[in-house]
Amino acid sequence: MKTYSKGARRRAKKELAEMPGLAPVKRREPNGRAKRTVDDRDPSAAPLAVRCRQNGLTHNAAGRREARAPWYGCAAGRAMAAAVCDHDERARLWDAIQHMRRVQVAHDRAIGAPARHPKCLRLLVPIEAMSADAETPPLDERTDEEKQRAATSAIMRLEGWLGYTDKAARSEALRVVIDDYEARDIVGLLSALLCVVDGMAGRRTMMWRGRG
């Protein structure tokens, strides 16, 4: 089979393009479009565009990168991110949000209570496919009674931490974090989350963060 040099192929292509009556053929993308779009390159771009619009982020590369943060996926996270700019502080407050949800879900399951809110449970489901490896936590072999005692202790600890802010802030935190309602009292929400941050850090002397 005869082969041609790169130069010969370029000359043949040029001669073909110069032939009268033949328009140059533009190479198209596999999906038939003349040009790739952002959505073609990144299947998650469309959902991220919605997040950008909902959170007032610019729909560009930087905005989409910001919108990938997990806290933009729920009411508590969005309210927290709107009020806090520092990334490390956001991460600490997001850990507090997740901890509150884990404790509440574990307690509800231990006592056989129905799911409080389907959104709360969906927020705890991992996005990636589940698989076991060396880092996978061991199987929980505790009895139902042991699980219930642990869940009760955990929720009592959480309630103790939240006791270092005022009643309105505690109610707002439970309403927004646990039931995923939109925040109405962001100052109260943040004060309650900071109490949880203090408790998770194991601080012996908790700071009063209530108003008044």
188: exposed, middle or buried (C-beta count within 10 Å: 0-12, 13-18, 19+)? buried
pLDDT of residue 85: 92
Per-residue pLDDT of the chain (212 residues; tens, 9 = 90+): 556 677 777 776 666 556 555 555 556 555 556 555 544 455 556 667 776 777 667 767 776 777 788 888 899 999 999 999 999 999 999 999 999 999 999 999 888 887 765 554 444 444 444 444 555 556 777 888 888 899 999 999 999 999 999 999 999 999 999 999 999 999 999 999 999 999 999 988 899 999 87
Alpha carbons within 13 angstroms on the beta-carbon side of residue 44 total 9
pLDDT of residue 126: 44
**Phi/psi of residue 40, nearest 5 degrees:** -65, -40
Are residues 188 and 169 in contact, defined by beta-carbon separation less than 8 angstroms?
yes
198 Cβ partners below 8 Å, 6+ apart?
Answer: 161, 164, 206, 207
Cα separation of the two ends of the chain: 89
Helices within the chain (DSSP H only): 6-18, 38-41, 45-54, 61-67, 75-83, 87-110, 118-122, 144-162, 167-173, 186-200
Q: From CA 173, how far away is CA 49, in angstroms rounded?
A: 28
**Domain ranges (residues) in the chain:** 85-126+143-200
pLDDT of residue 130: 44
Q: What is the pTM of this model?
A: 0.67
Which of 44, 42, 80, 104 minimizes the C-alpha distance to 183? 80
Cα-to-chain-centroid distance, residue 204: 31
